[in-house]
Structure 1
Amino acid sequence: MVENRPFLTFLTHFVLILGVIVVVFPVYLAFIASTQGPSDFLSGVVPLLPGSHLMENYGQMLTGGMSRAGAPPLWILLGNSLLMAIIIAVGKITISIISAYAIVYFRFPFRLLAFWLIFITLMLPVEVRIVPTFKVVADLGMLNSYAGLTIPLIASATATFLFRQFFLTIPDELMEAARVDGSGPMKFFRDILLPLSRTNIAALFVVLFIYGWIQYLWPLLITNDSRYYTIVMAIKRLAAVADSDPQWNLVMAAMILAMLPPVLVVILMQRLFVKGLVETEK
């Protein structure tokens, strides 16, 4: 039983509110900056209230982009990032859940060796294997393509491990009962395992969507065609231009627009996301 101590209650709420302020205040400043005019920050005074250029700045970035940065309209970049994030998230979940199902429920030679080989790849991030991966993608003619943006990032040892650990918690009696009822391997997978994995899939989708959305190094390496730029790449190009010709209001507008899709995904899937992370009874 938790004791009701007013001081501890005040202290915990104070720390929580302080943490929220620390996290939210930079985002608030970015939004304020995105509503200002191009010269409002040159005075060195940071305004704390929204300006009158909100619609102008956001409209310019969405429809016209920033020509001096070589960036197309942001709606194209947002679409590229959205497509990349969805393909990576769905691809990782699909491959991982099938791999975990095969490792747990099928008996074949070197089954555990296959799992540990997959697990060891956790120690090899994209940056370590980026040169040979780029060589393979280039030889296959996938530079400046959505396939090149997504396929090399689809495999996921983390998701395979998480699905394997979840499948190990499912009682063997459930599989035996399905077998007695005449269910084959795919029917057992489709009708029993997938519904039971719904919260895990939702939690992983949120994490993997954000992982795909914030990719910077890989898209930067394999794309030099502005039609395939992602929103994170565009923000870097905008910031580089802003060093010599400050237009931070447009840069901040792009940053706010780049934040919206991940935030919406988290909000819409919040219940399943939290449930998938904390649920222990299956």
Structure 2
Amino acid sequence: MPAWLDALSALDAQGEAGVLVSVIRAQGSAPREAGVKMVVSASHVWDTIGGGNLEFQSIQDSRTLLTSGARLPVTRDFPLGPALGQCCGGATTVLFEPIRPPDWTVAIFGAGHVGRAVAKLLGDLPCRLLWFDSRADVLHGLAIPGNTRVRTTTEASDIATLPAGTAVLIMTHDHGVDFDLTETALRRPDLSFVGTIGSATKRARFASRLRRAGLDDMTIERLYCPVGLPGIGTKLPAEIAIAVVAQLLAARPVEAPRDAPVIDLAGPARPRHCGAPGCDPACSDGERQALPRK
């Protein structure tokens, strides 16, 4: 597997943004042919599109896109002349595709019938799903959605590993584990949602224990338990899952719409004659070549 493809998988697993950089046109003498790719993140580069200043400038452009928040692809034409520090005499067009993780992360603790049904629904939504269950035998053979990372643990300490803003669903096979996870999650005010499966009786018992553990009523009020939109009146896992996901969507933080930033990756200056001592005439010819833009 190419290094750039491995890099995309690694960035996805880590929830980290990157830019896929592709040479989509190579005209005349150029460092690499059309079709080569590399991946750039804030701190790493995988693979190569030919090295030299072309690659250096492409890395800089990629990081400009990353810091800008841009999400749309951008192309840039590079005449391979002295303004770029490369006298190949040809020209290259490079495509920059920002790859960003979803803004919304959901963590499910438990892979029982309801947990599986919820994961199935979330697999079709634009979110990053973290799915925890300590029972490797239960997880084995499950259909895992493409946006999902599975972890064979359900320790309360796992809550500390979740990104800020994560929505947490607690639905394990053990009420004691549910309580430990619930208490730990409620102690993190930066989590966007804390929901625990169970009845009104379970909520009352948990609330009493949470107060004894030192949590105040305002913090306990953050807990959605029973989790899911009320009034469904069913115990079928698929129907409970629909109610849970509907409640998640209703509670999901929504940012004010904003225009996508317009990023101009302007090419280097293109003098009509480079005038560099000893430079091959083909260089100035290359500087004058302008690739058509789509």
> Which of the five TM-score ranges fits, normalised by the shorter chain?
under 0.3
TM-score (norm 1): 0.21
Q: Which has the higher helix share?
A: 1
* Larger relative contact order (CA 8 Å, sep ≥ 6): 1
TM-score (norm 2): 0.20
Larger radius of gyration, structure 1 or 2? Answer: 2
